[in-house]
Structure 1
């Protein structure tokens, strides 16, 4: 059974025509997707990532961390979120960010 698009009733212009009128054809990518694993050699993770309080580092420069390890936390009486290592490696700097080198 062929089902119409869920927004069929609210559409006034065919999608292909709208795409052409907005000149979005230059963004069409018909190539095959390639799965590529991103493995950065260094990351800088900011301690202030949102409107809450900046996180307090729980690691020092020279510490070895694994991916997922807690590297900064927020005191319980303040708004914020804990920060975890996105890669494993050595902490090379702790300032207003934590730098980890793989």
Structure 2
């Protein structure tokens, strides 16, 4: 499933939820593909996942071309991007909305 975390270092009201990150794009895409294959109800899926993939692909391209605001820092640590890049490209090759 999707990573879920809430950090409360002090007494507080915590807003939790699912989140995506760029450290393991390939695994997140495998989870998504498994949800599709198993016909997981929308209620339990990450909302707007396919549309988010388009934004991730655009940001990744801008980072690799050096046009992102954080490009220099991200490019130095971007080897993890390349593990998920082929899967992300195949996802982005499809229209974002049916």
Q: TM-score range by the shorter chain?
A: under 0.3
* TM-score normalised according to structure 2 size: 0.20
Q: Considering Cα pairs closer than 8 Å and 6+ residues apart, tell me whether 1 or 2 has the greater RCO.
A: 2
Structure having the higher strand fraction is 1
Structure having the higher helix fraction is 2
Larger radius of gyration: 1
